[in-house]
A = this chain, B = another copy of it.
Amino acid sequence: MAQKIKLSTIAETLGISTATVSLALRDSPLVAGATRDKIKEQARALGYIYNRRAASLRTSRSGIIGVVVHDIMNPFYGEILKAIESELDRSRHTFILSNHYDSVEKQRTFIETLLQLGGDGVIMSPAIGTPPEDMQLAEDNGMPAILVARSMDGSDLPTYRGDDSYGISLATNHLIGLGHRSIAMIGGTDQTSTGRDRYQGYVNALRKAEIEVDPGLRIPGPRSMQGGFEAAVHFLSLPQKPTAAVCWNDLVAIGLMNGIARAGLVPGTDISVTGYDDLEEASISMPALTTVWNGQAEVGRLAARALLDRLAGSHEPDGIHLIKPEMRIRQSTSPYRPRS
């Protein structure tokens, strides 16, 4: 590698001051068009690389935005991230991604790193058990934060997520409408707002239909395909012999269906199953999954938009912004018939 090319290199070779070069490269109207073109040409010719750290040291703007979620490999977050990415790309921001795997430590480390790098803002789906002071860490140090997918009690940061209670009630009502009375709920946790809301939505729907809520029909825990698969055994041996299952998400539903099939029953016919999120996989699973569209792309887009607006100076309203889920009916649910 040859000598490092910097502003002053360009300035010298052109017999001009670094100030002019800087202004020209930023397209300032303070510098004449001809000069600007000459400078840009020279920069290209020399292979100049803009030093953002030096610049941001001066401007205290880094163009970096952090995003931290539970697990980027989970397609649910994947779809959110994709939307965030395309929104940020448009405004020339770089984004730094991290999983926290629900470790409060890991999440804090990430936020601290981001602060050290001079991040302009952060979008987070807070880890289970995040203490209030961690929620404020970013804002306290002048880095705007937006919540996504999960909300956090005691925090009034702007939040974008689906209306979980409403969404799960859609799925539950759909099954009730098909004649099912013994409906299990598979997966999820009470430790997140999402988890509590979804369970509540399920309970509400049953109550409204005057079906007794049986806590034994709840199998909490699973949140992955593997989890759903493993839960099938437990599910099939429930004494209440449920004929339908409302699943935490599509992954759990697909896993559960595979588990049911492995046990020799036919998912969608013998047992009705609903998912949640409407991932790409849902429409091509076997059978195609009846699920609830949860607007991940919308959620991601809005969150990114909100952050960018905030960075641009507008102070958008705090509070929780809920996306209304919608039912997607496919082949994994069918009218009630008793389990043999």
Contacts and interface: CB of A to CB of B under 8 A. Distances in A.
Interface in A43-83: 47, 49-54, 56-57, 62, 64, 72-73, 75, 78-79, 81-82
Given A1-B142, A57-B53, A258 B229 contact: no
Contact of A53 (B53, B99, B261, B284): B53
Contacts of A1: 140-142
Given A72-B72, A94-B117, A226 B284 contact: yes
Question: Which one of A112, A116, A284 has the highest number of Cβ atoms from chain B below 10 Å of its Cβ?
Answer: A284
A141 B49 contact: yes
B261 A284 contact: no
Contact of A118 (B51, B82, B284): B51
A258 B280 contact: no
Contacts of A142: 1
A286 B284 contact: no
Main secondary structure of the interface of A (DSSP, over half): helix
A281 B226 CA distance: 8
Interface string A249-263: 000000101110110
A285 interface: yes
B53 A118 contact: yes
Nearest to A284: B229
Contacts of A57: 51, 53-54, 57
Interface residues of A, number: 48
Contacts of A262: 286
Contacts of A225: 280-281, 284
A331 to B, nearest CB: 9
A85 B73 CA distance: 12
Contacts of A19: none
Contacts of A73: 73, 75, 78-79, 81-82
Interface string A96-136: 11010000000000001101111000000000000000000
A52 B286 contact: no
B117 A52 contact: yes
Contacts of A56: 53
Contacts of A82: 73
Contacts of A118: 51-53
A57 B62 CA distance: 13
Contact of A52 (B47, B81, B116): B116
Contact of A226 (B49, B141, B280): B280
27 contacts: A1-B140, A1-B141, A1-B142, A47-B140, A47-B141, A49-B112, A49-B116, A51-B57, A52-B118, A53-B53, A53-B57, A53-B117, A54-B57, A57-B57, A72-B81, A73-B75, A73-B79, A73-B81, A73-B82, A94-B113, A96-B97, A225-B281, A225-B284, A226-B280, A226-B284, A255-B284, A259-B284
